[in-house]
A and B are shown apart, each in its own frame.
Chain A
Amino acid sequence: EDKVVQSPLSLVVHEGDTVTLNCSYEVTNFRSLLWYKQEKKAPTFLFMLTSSGIEKKSGRLSSILDKKELFSILNITATQTGDSAVYLCAVHETYKYIFGTGTRLKVLA
């Protein structure tokens, strides 16, 4: 059965800390892996990864994919309270997304 597993399930840090969120997957027909940030209801797109070893960066956020070991990490440096959200990992398998349960990040001032 296809699955996407995220860890940790929740995380509390202080502003300025660096966090690493993990996503491992087992799917039959991998097309891409995506990270979304969900603050209230609508997930908003962060990154899409299709190739191993190529880091994607956007400001303080970065992500990388390892297709051999079947995982991805999302790094957030110098965290801010505005980074508090649920971070969802989704794997695009054939024609649909399979989501993990998400990591709930809370950043304390």
Chain B
Amino acid sequence: EAGVAQSPRYKIIEKRQSVAFWCNPISGHATLYWYQQILGQGPKLLIQFQNNGVVDDSQLPKDRFSAERLKGVDSTLKIQPAKLEDSAVYLCASSRTGALRYTFGSGTRLTVV
């Protein structure tokens, strides 16, 4: 089966600019996750979708981050405006409903200068 697709692979932006990341999960995976991994740290969950509904967005900085999964398939994560501390790898993962094992995409490395 095809894996979790993410784009772009890399992005460099200036602070206060906006940026968007895209994720297409494995076909049939109803659950989609966005994780933020700052250098030297483990991934931190930003938001979890079940189909097109939000299950958990408690750690999403909602003043600047937004995410959507309108048709319950692919998803976009947006940052507006970006701050220096947003520099990180943004990982998307997906799973079947209730599954214990996720599959991760290759991630987007964001550098804010």
- Name the A residues within 8 Å of B40 (CB-CB): 101
A residues 16-52 touching B (CB-CB < 8 Å): 31-32, 34, 36, 40-45, 48, 50
Bound-state Cα–Cα, A95 to B48, Å: 9
Bound-state Cα–Cα, A58 to B4, Å: 24
Bound-state Cα–Cα, A61 to B45, Å: 27
- Name the A residues within 8 Å of B91 (CB-CB): 41-43
B109, CB-defined interface residue at 8 Å: yes
Binary per-residue interface labels of chain B (41-65) against chain A in the complex, 1 for a CB within 8 Å, 0 otherwise: 1111100100000011000000000
CB distance from B16 to the nearest CB of A (A): 26
Q: Are A100 and B42 in contact (CB under 8 A)?
A: yes
CB distance from A45 to the nearest CB of B (A): 6
Q: Are B55 and A97 in contact (CB under 8 A)?
A: no
With an 8 Å Cβ cutoff, the count of chain B residues facing the other chain is 21
A73, CB-defined interface residue at 8 Å: no
Bound-state Cα–Cα, A45 to B93, Å: 12
Which of A41, A50, A90, A92 is packed against the most chain B CB atoms within 10 Å? Answer: A41
- Name the A residues within 8 Å of B44 (CB-CB): 99
- Name the A residues within 8 Å of B89 (CB-CB): 41
Partner of A50, one of B48, B100, B109: B100
- Name the B residues within 8 Å of A44 (CB-CB): 104
Q: Are A102 and B42 in contact (CB under 8 A)?
A: yes
Binary per-residue interface labels of chain B (64-103) against chain A in the complex, 1 for a CB within 8 Å, 0 otherwise: 0000000000000000000000000101000000001111
Residue numbers of B with Cβ under 8 A of A are 33, 40-45, 48, 55-56, 89, 91, 100-107, 109
17 contacts across the A-B interface (CB closer than 8 A): A31-B100, A36-B104, A40-B106, A41-B109, A42-B107, A43-B91, A45-B101, A45-B103, A48-B100, A48-B101, A50-B100, A96-B45, A96-B56, A97-B43, A98-B45, A101-B42, A102-B42
